[in-house]
Amino acid sequence: MLKISDDFTLEDIRAIRDDFYERYKDNWDYEAMLKEIQEGAEHFKKGLEEQRVNTKPA
């Protein structure tokens, strides 16, 4: 399990990339890789939307 900081740093991005590589380097399961990327992107988009809503000027 990856430990991601609350501030989501460049080191976190590197850790995610390295973890992803290690899990798939000998098993190019494209469907699983695409699903994981899409799920991660959806989670990230939701977080950005929350930040945008919370930082809108009144």
DSSP structure string for 8-40: --HHHHHHHHHHHHHHHTT---HHHHHHHHHHH
- Residue range 8-58, pLDDT digits in tens: 788 888 888 888 888 888 888 888 888 988 988 888 888 888 888 888 776
Q: Which of 41, 38, 37, 8 is nearest to 20 (CA)?
A: 37
For residues 7 and 17, give the distance between their C-alpha atoms in angstroms, rounded to a whole number.
17
Q: What is the pTM of this model?
A: 0.50
Neighbours of 16 (CB within 10 A): 14
